[in-house]
């Protein structure tokens, strides 16, 4: 597996770095990670503010769940293998890599971080523990200890281009089914164009919005139909999600991203509109595009929220809030809010499509994670952890709102919130944002 080349300085320092980097892929994995790790381990004041703000520590306030303690598991490895003093002391007093020499425990702990970045927002010195957890996860991945469902998802992405591993036939069936649903509901022929070369817009929802929660895709299809947009989807790259981001495997992250960039370029579209997946959008917009992983891209990138909100602002969509009469609240997905700054747009959409919209406590950039962030909502094995510990705060907030509908912007949050509602016996409906647009849009 080819990895990103890191700059190694010339001279003695470079010789030293090269020697340890080439000797062991485990060491190289730590070294190749963002330099923020090194900075963070030097500047943490250990004031405990991060723990105060961490949803996991809130759910179970003990040492194991402390963000600093989790990061320390990774930092001790970094020190042991890459710093002079770490190597020196290890030569004299050798220590095991992991506490109790238990790599599986280490893996478990790395997946107890939701990577929601609430710690970074509140930390007085700006330390982002999600970056360190991701370094830890990359080591877990290297040891082959990534949780099976995430590993399967990334494997599926390599094999089929989508996390579910669905075949092209299954996708085409799903699209046909959605078109029939649209026809039945509206009495109109609302097509979902596929592989149309030269279309203006390339729409890329997460595959879950095609195969499981079709209402979001139906909402977008109605929007495109209402404004007469020239749009298309790809039958080969229809999964705008990214598990490589959550597993810490940079190669997977970049491959999954490249897959749909290629599709958009091949179809010659001018604008990529991404659906309701925070991880994929953050990787696409703020890493691949801004970081120029694949050079300058020949198309613009926007999220479905920005796209729809702009149409509402300019009066191009006719919406009937009466179609969503119940009390609606909104859960900010961490990757969309703190990760991409998309906070106001979903609210604009919800206020235009719902009769009674109310804010969830602490909503916005400093929202509390649903408890299933960082890929956890895909893990059945940690369900008890998600329901009782990481999702505890969100369950309390959902109770506080008196809402009947909780709308959210990310597929992973949606899965987690559904499970929380069921587990804590709350009679709530969990929806996507464009699902409510799907209800409220008036087609003329």
Partner 1 sequence: MNGFEFFVLYRLPYLAVPFYLIMLSVRIWVWMRFYNPALKLLPRARGSVYGVWKRQYRPTIHIFPGSRSQRTEWKRAIKGFVFFTGLYKRDKVLWMGSWSLHLGLLLVIVAHARVILPLNLDLICLRIALIGSGLMTVSGTYLLLRRIIIQRVREITDFRDYLAEFILLSFSLTAFLVMLDGGVSSEALRHYVSGLLMNTVEVIEVPDMFVWHMLAAQLLLIVIPFSHLLHLGGIFFSREFLGTSDTFAGEFGSGLKDRRN
What does the binding site for partner 1 look like in residue numbers (CB under 8 A)? 4, 6-7, 9, 13, 34-36, 38-40, 42-49, 51-53, 57, 61-63, 66, 68-69, 72, 117, 120-122, 124-128, 131, 286-287, 290-291, 337-341, 343-344, 347, 351, 357-359, 363-366
**Would you say 115 or 157 has its CB closer to partner 1?**
115
Q: What's the CA gap between 415 and 417, in Å, rounded?
A: 6
- Rank residues 351 and 424 by Cβ distance to partner 1 and give the closer one: 351
Closest separation in Å from C-beta 418 to partner 1: 25
**Shorter beta-carbon distance to partner 1: residue 229 or 274:** 274
- Cβ 406 to partner 1, closest distance in Å? 16
Output the CA–CA distances (angstroms, integers) from residue 108 to 64, 75, 118, in the order listed: 11, 16, 21
Q: How far is the CB of 332 from partner 1 (least distance, A)?
A: 10
Q: 255-262: long-range contacts at Cβ-Cβ below 8 A with a sequence spacing of 24 or more?
A: 255/157, 255/158, 256/154, 256/157, 256/280, 256/283, 257/283, 257/284, 257/287, 257/288, 257/293, 258/293, 258/294, 259/157, 259/161, 260/204, 260/234, 261/288, 261/294, 261/297, 262/237
* Residue placing its CB nearer to partner 1 in the complex, 87 or 270: 87
With a CB cutoff of 8 Å and minimum separation 6, the contacts of 424 are 387, 395, 399
Smallest separation (angstroms) from partner 1 to the CB of 435: 21
User: Min. distance of Cβ 313 from partner 1 in angstroms?
Assistant: 13
Q: Which is nearer to partner 1, 125 or 172 (CB)?
A: 125
Pair 288, 301: CB distance under 8 Å = no
Backbone angles phi, psi at 336, to 5 degrees: -75, -40
The least distance separating partner 1 from the CB of residue 365, rounded to whole angstroms, comes to 4
Task: Kindly tell me which of 66 and 418 has the beta carbon lying closer to partner 1.
Answer: 66
Cα–Cα distances (Å) from 277 to 226, 321, 324, 358, in that order, read 23, 25, 23, 23
């Amino acid at each position: 597996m080819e990895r990103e080349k890191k700059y190694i300085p010339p001279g003695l320092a470079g010789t030293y770095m090269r020697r340890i980097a080439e000797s062991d892929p485990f060491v190289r994995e730590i070294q190749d990670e963002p330099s923020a790790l090194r900075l963070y381990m030097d500047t943490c004041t250990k004031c405990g503010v991060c723990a105060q703000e961490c949803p996991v520590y809130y759910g179970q306030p003990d040492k194991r769940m402390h963000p600093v303690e989790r990061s320390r598991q990774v930092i001790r490895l970094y020190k042991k293998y890459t710093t002079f003093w770490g190597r020196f002391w290890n030569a004299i007093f050798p220590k095991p890599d992991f506490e109790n020499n238990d790599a599986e425990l280490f893996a478990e702990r790395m997946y107890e971080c939701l990577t929601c970045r609430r710690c970074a927002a509140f930390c007085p010195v700006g330390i982002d523990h999600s970056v360190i957890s991701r370094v830890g996860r990359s080591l877990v991945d290297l040891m082959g200890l990534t949780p099976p469902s995430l590993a399967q998802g990334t494997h599926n992405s390599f094999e089929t281009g989508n996390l579910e591993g669905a075949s092209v036939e299954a996708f085409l069936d799903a699209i046909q089914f959605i078109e029939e649903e649209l026809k039945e509901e509206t009495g109109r022929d609302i097509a979902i164009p596929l592989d149309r070369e030269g279309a203006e817009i390339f729409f890329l929802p997460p595959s879950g919005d095609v195969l499981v929660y079709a209402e979001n895709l139906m909402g977008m299809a109605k929007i495109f139909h209402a404004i007469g947009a020239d749009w298309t989807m790809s039958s080969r790259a229809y999964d705008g999600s990214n598990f490589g981001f959550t597993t810490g495997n940079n190669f997977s992250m970049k491959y999954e991203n490249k897959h749909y960039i290629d599709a958009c370029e091949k179809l010659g579209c001018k604008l990529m509109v991404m659906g309701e997946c925070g991880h994929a959008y953050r990787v696409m917009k703020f890493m691949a595009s801004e970081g120029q992983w694949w050079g300058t891209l020949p198309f613009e990138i926007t999220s479905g929220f920005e796209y729809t909100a702009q149409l509402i602002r300019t009066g191009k969509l006719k919406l009937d809030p009466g179609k969503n009469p119940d009390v609606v609240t909104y859960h900010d997905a961490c990757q969309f809010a703190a990760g991409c700054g998309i906070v106001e747009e979903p609210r604009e959409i919800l206020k235009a499509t719902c009769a009674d919209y109310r804010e969830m406590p602490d909503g916005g950039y400093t929202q509390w994670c649903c408890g299933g962030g960082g890929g956890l909502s895909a893990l059945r094995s940690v369900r008890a952890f998600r329901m009782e510990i990481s999702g505890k705060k969100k369950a309390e907030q959902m109770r506080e709102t008196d809402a009947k509908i909780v709308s959210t912007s990310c597929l992973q949050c949606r899965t987690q919130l559904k499970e929380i509602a069921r587990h804590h016996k709350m009679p709530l409906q969990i929806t996507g944002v464009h699902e409510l647009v799907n209800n409220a849009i008036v087609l003329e």
